[in-house]
Every structure is written in structure tokens, then in C-alpha cells.
């Protein structure tokens, strides 16, 4: 892929902090675009995949849409809309919460679990292929990103 300077055709940056922010934003877009292509044959988006993973992590316990929203990687995603799309595909079910009728409980369906199993290998292969780092470098970068967020 090359340097960020080559990718966006910019000779220099104001300072390394500016370059880092631009580099992170560009890399995020690069990863999301590649992920979207990977998920397309399964008719889901990266955000829908994220919702399904959150639901699987509940191990059969229902969760509210607002709790899903809190756990989403992309906080700008509309969890209600994503859940509705997944429901229309038969991947999740929505049930009125018995304790509070204003709340809606969301559960992953068997079909949703099967889809996750189907795409899991593709995701693992994708991650190995797209990340051009050794395991040690990935651990260092993970630590640096955690530190960056403070």
C-alpha cells in the first residue's frame, strides 16, 4: 500500500500528530471498505456483524437496543435501524420486555448464529491478510492505540 503521503498524495504534514490523525482516519476507511467487501456475499455490513457478535456474547440472554448501542464499535451507527434490518433477515428477534413494556429485548436467532459461524473463518483470514504486522508488532500497536485513547 505504501506511505500515507503516497496514498493521499501529500508531500508533508504540519507535524507528526497531524500525520498520525490523518493516517488513523485513512486506515479506518481502508479497513471498513475492505471489510464491507468481505461481508457483502453474506448480505451484511460490518456494523450488522458487530451487532450479531454483541448478541452472541450475551449467551442467550436478551439485551436492549440501547445496551447494544453502548457496546458498538461505531458509536455513530443507528442500532435500532441495524436491529430492524437483521430482524427482517431473520437473524435476530425482538420481544417486548416483560418487566418494562417500553423496552424491547433483542436475541440472536439460530440463523444468526449460523451466519456468524459461516463468516468467522473469512474474518480470521481477512484479519491475517490485511494486517501486515507480526504478532509482536500487533501487540505493540494495540498497546499504543490503547495509550492514545488515554
How many domains does the chain divide into? 1
| Least confident stretch, 3-7, 20-24, 89-93, 143-147 | 3-7
pLDDT value, residue 86: 97
In a domain, 62, yes or no: yes
Which sign does the torsion angle of CA 51, 113, 109, 85 carry?
A: positive
In a domain, 35, yes or no: no
Q: What is the domain range of residue 82?
A: 44-119
CATH of the domain at 109: 1.10.10.10
Q: Is 90 exceeded by the pLDDT of residue 106?
A: yes
pLDDT value, residue 1: 63
In a domain, 3, yes or no: no
CB 35 within 8 A of CB 42: no
In a domain, 124, yes or no: no
Q: What is the pTM of this model?
A: 0.86
In a domain, 70, yes or no: yes
| Least confident stretch, 63-67, 80-84, 101-105 | 101-105
Q: Is 80 exceeded by the pLDDT of residue 100?
A: no
Amino acid at each position: 500500500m505504501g506511505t500515507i503521503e503516497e496514498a493521499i498524495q501529500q508531500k508533508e504534514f504540519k507535524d507528526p500528530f497531524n500525520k498520525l490523525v490523518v493516517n488513523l482516519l485513512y486506515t479506518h476507511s481502508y479497513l471498513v471498505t475492505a471489510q464491507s467487501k468481505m461481508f457483502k456475499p453474506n448480505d451484511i455490513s460490518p456494523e450488522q456483524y458487530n451487532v450479531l457478535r454483541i448478541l452472541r456474547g450475551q449467551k442467550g440472554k436478551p439485551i436492549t437496543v440501547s445496551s447494544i448501542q453502548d457496546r458498538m464499535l461505531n458509536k455513530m451507527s443507528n442500532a435500532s435501524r441495524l436491529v430492524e434490518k437483521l430482524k427482517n433477515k431473520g437473524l435476530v428477534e425482538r420481544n417486548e420486555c416483560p418487566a418494562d413494556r417500553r423496552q424491547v429485548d433483542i436475541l440472536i436467532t439460530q440463523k444468526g448464529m449460523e451466519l456468524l459461524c459461516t463468516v468467522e473463518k473469512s474474518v480470521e483470514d481477512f484479519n491475517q491478510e490485511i494486517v501486515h504486522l507480526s504478532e509482536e508488532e500487533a501487540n505493540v500497536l494495540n498497546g499504543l492505540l490503547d495509550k492514545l485513547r488515554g
